[in-house]
Amino acid sequence: MNPSPIKRRALFVSYDGSRFFGWQKQADGIATVQSALEAALSELAQEHISVVTAGRTDTGVHATAQVVHFDSAAQRPDQAWVRGVNALLPEGVAVWRVQDVAPEFHARFDACGRRYRYLLQSAPVRSPLLVGRAGWTHYALDMAAMRQAAALLVGEHDFSSFRAAECQAKSPVKTLYRVALCGTPELMAVDFHGNAFLHHMVRNLMGALVYVGCGKLSVDGFAGLLAARSRKLAPPTFMPDGLYLTGIDYPSQFGVATPPPPAWLFPDW
């Protein structure tokens, strides 16, 4: 009997980042999204499976539409790859779609855009219902000033001022296609859409935008910070709680598309 051909598949995954120590598998065996997903896939396929992700997320960072690919000779219907894997996954992570993809498709290297949404609460007291789901500041925020600062980020820039010290990216130059704020000063969503992001880049941008919103940093000062290309001058990294990976862009020939953020994650007003 001829062995089954190896096929490449893409999985669409969502997870609660507060339940895991980030995406990437660790040598000490701590709970990560990658380790949980690979264990479930390997058990279902009855062979060792490794996954490649579009983008690694840190501890506490969520995803509504993470994309991974994996190779397997196991013959399973799509329903089994979804329901079967979900039955083996721990709470806090779920596969919601699978599709066959071309052998040359690569979840990470073929990604031409990534989308994040940051949910932010501004209130004197943090809502216990939003802990782990939204970032929080006790300062009152000026959304108009924050929008002015956010507009300066659109385009190609050197984002060294918003790059973590441990970032391994070859270049700090990235392109942001869109940065948009919606909602109210008390509860807002900030969308970031770019070709790629540096380590902690969105959280560092949020830290600076909150400084602008509460008056600790002027819009001109924000522009100067971007131009300075120095992390030492920037505000602290903001909390991960409100950060969601909401989509990955791929060239149309691959037929891999992620939907807009779900309505429960703050509808666009």
- At 171, the pLDDT band (50, 70, 90 cuts) reads very high
User: Based on the domain organization, do 243 and 128 belong to the same domain?
Assistant: yes
- Determine the pLDDT at residue 26: 86
Residue 269 above 70 pLDDT?
no
Asked if residue 51 lies in contact with residue 104, where contact means CB atoms within 8 angstroms, the answer is: no
Q: Is the dihedral of CA 136, 141, 144, 148 positive or negative?
A: negative
Asked if residue 188 lies in contact with residue 106, where contact means CB atoms within 8 angstroms, the answer is: no
User: Based on the domain organization, do 32 and 119 belong to the same domain?
Assistant: no
- At 201, the pLDDT band (50, 70, 90 cuts) reads very high
pLDDT digits (tens, 9 = 90+) for 118-147: 999 999 999 999 999 999 999 999 999 999
Tell me the whole-structure pTM to 2 decimals. 0.94
CA distances from 166 to 120, 145, 183, 233 (A): 25, 30, 33, 17
- Determine the pLDDT at residue 212: 98
256 in any annotated domain: no
Grouping H, G, I as helix, E, B as strand and the rest as coil, residue 102 is coil
CATH of the domain at 200: 3.30.70.660
User: Based on the domain organization, do 42 and 154 belong to the same domain?
Assistant: no
Q: What is the DSSP letter of 222?
A: H
The more confidently predicted of residues 83 and 28 is 83
Gap between the Cα atoms of 166 and 159, Å rounded: 14
Grouping H, G, I as helix, E, B as strand and the rest as coil, residue 203 is helix
- Determine the pLDDT at residue 2: 57
Question: Across residues 68-74, what is the average pLDDT?
Answer: 96
- At 31, the pLDDT band (50, 70, 90 cuts) reads very high
The more confidently predicted of residues 170 and 269 is 170
User: Based on the domain organization, do 87 and 122 belong to the same domain?
Assistant: no
pLDDT digits (tens, 9 = 90+) for 210-250: 999 999 999 999 999 999 999 999 999 999 999 999 999 99
Q: Specify the residue for token string 């959304």.
A: 143
Amino acid (one-letter) located at 188 = M
User: Based on the domain organization, do 57 and 127 belong to the same domain?
Assistant: no
Asked if residue 188 lies in contact with residue 120, where contact means CB atoms within 8 angstroms, the answer is: yes
Residue 120 forms beta bridges with which residues? 135, 188
Amino acid (one-letter) located at 104 = E
Instruction: Provide the token pair at 130.
Output: 């939003």
Averaged confidence pLDDT in the chain: 94
Domain that holds residue 206: 112-249
Catalytic residue among 16, 28, 58, 241: 58
Residue 68 above 80 pLDDT?
yes
Q: Which of 20-29, 86-95, 108-117 has the lowest mean pLDDT?
A: 20-29
Asked if residue 112 lies in contact with residue 251, where contact means CB atoms within 8 angstroms, the answer is: yes
- Determine the pLDDT at residue 169: 86
User: Based on the domain organization, do 31 and 122 belong to the same domain?
Assistant: no
Comparing CA positions, the residue from 8, 161, 170 lying closest to residue 74 is 8
- At 186, the pLDDT band (50, 70, 90 cuts) reads very high
CATH of the domain at 90: 3.30.70.580
205 in any annotated domain: yes
Residue 49 above 60 pLDDT?
yes
Question: Across residues 53-71, what is the average pLDDT?
Answer: 95
For the chain, what is the radius of gyration of the CA atoms?
20
94 in any annotated domain: yes
- At 268, the pLDDT band (50, 70, 90 cuts) reads low
Residue 192 above 60 pLDDT?
yes
User: Based on the domain organization, do 45 and 134 belong to the same domain?
Assistant: no
Q: Answer yes or no: 58 catalytic.
A: yes
227 in any annotated domain: yes
Strands 243-249 and 62-72: parallel
* Residue 116 annotated as binding site: yes
Question: Across residues 102-107, what is the average pLDDT?
Answer: 97
Gap between the Cα atoms of 244 and 133, Å rounded: 9
Asked if residue 85 lies in contact with residue 30, where contact means CB atoms within 8 angstroms, the answer is: no
Other CB atoms within 10 Å distance of the CB of residue 15: 24
261 in any annotated domain: no
Task: Work out how many domains the chain is built from and give that number.
Answer: 2
